[in-house]
Structure 1
Amino acid sequence: MRYCILSVENKLQFVAMPSGYMYQLIALLRRLHKEIDKLTVAERPVLPHIIAECSDIELHDTNARIIQGIDYLTNLEKQFASLKEEHYPLISLLTEIRALHAQLEYLAEENEYE
């Protein structure tokens, strides 16, 4: 597993991803940052800032928790799917989110999500 440390509204999030898929999560988040200002809806999802990625993480704060990548992507997809966007082709962003989510689901089904 690899861990991505994200900052969202001055709070840290820790996302666990299978090692070979971390680069896809980071690329996805960077693309979303690049495209978010092109959305015409008033209420846009708040995107995290990528702080770091690492191979090991040991949390000492009892309030902190590690979010599995598959759960993180489920939440991200819900945020973007709920937008009432009429001008920007939102489907392309949703397709990228869903494609990575589907890859992780396949790994989980094959018991290879590690």
Structure 2
Amino acid sequence: MRYLMLQENSGLQFVALPESHMYQLVALFKRLHKEIDKLTISDRPVLPTVLAECADLELLGSELSITDGLDYVSGLERRFASLQESEYPLISLLTEIRALQAQLEFLNEEE
């Protein structure tokens, strides 16, 4: 298992993913950051800043928690699917998010 540390408006977020899929989530964030300014809607989703990736994580603060990767990606998909974008081809971003989501769902079913 690998962990991704994200800085969001609400604070730090820790996302757990299998090592085999962590690079896909990091690449997805890089793509989303690159493309977010191309959206023409006024209320764009706020993306977290990727701070670190690590193999081991021990949370010492009781206010901190680890989010399952599938849950996090599903929430990301819901945020982007709800956008009312008419100019930018949002479907390409959603396709990437949904591809990772489908892979994580498959992994969960296999376990």
TM-score of the superposed pair, with normalisation by structure 1: 0.96
Give structure 1 regions of 4+ aligned residues with deviation exceeding 4 angstroms.
Answer: none
Task: Classify the secondary structure of the residue corresponding to 2:58.
Answer: coil
Q: Does 1:70 align with 2:67?
A: no
Residue 54 (structure 1) aligns with: 54
Percent identity between the two aligned chains: 61
How many residues of Structure 1 are paired with residues of Structure 2 in the alignment?
A: 111
Residue 19 (structure 1) aligns with: 19
Counterpart Cα distance in 1 of 2:4 and 2:17: 8
In the alignment, structure 1 segments of 5+ residues that lack a partner are none
CA RMSD, 1 decimal = 0.7
| CA displacement at 1:77 relative to structure 2 | 0.4
Residue 102 (structure 1) aligns with: 102
TM-score of the superposed pair, with normalisation by structure 2: 0.98
In the alignment, structure 2 segments of 5+ residues that lack a partner are none
Q: Which amino acid aligns with 1:34?
A: K
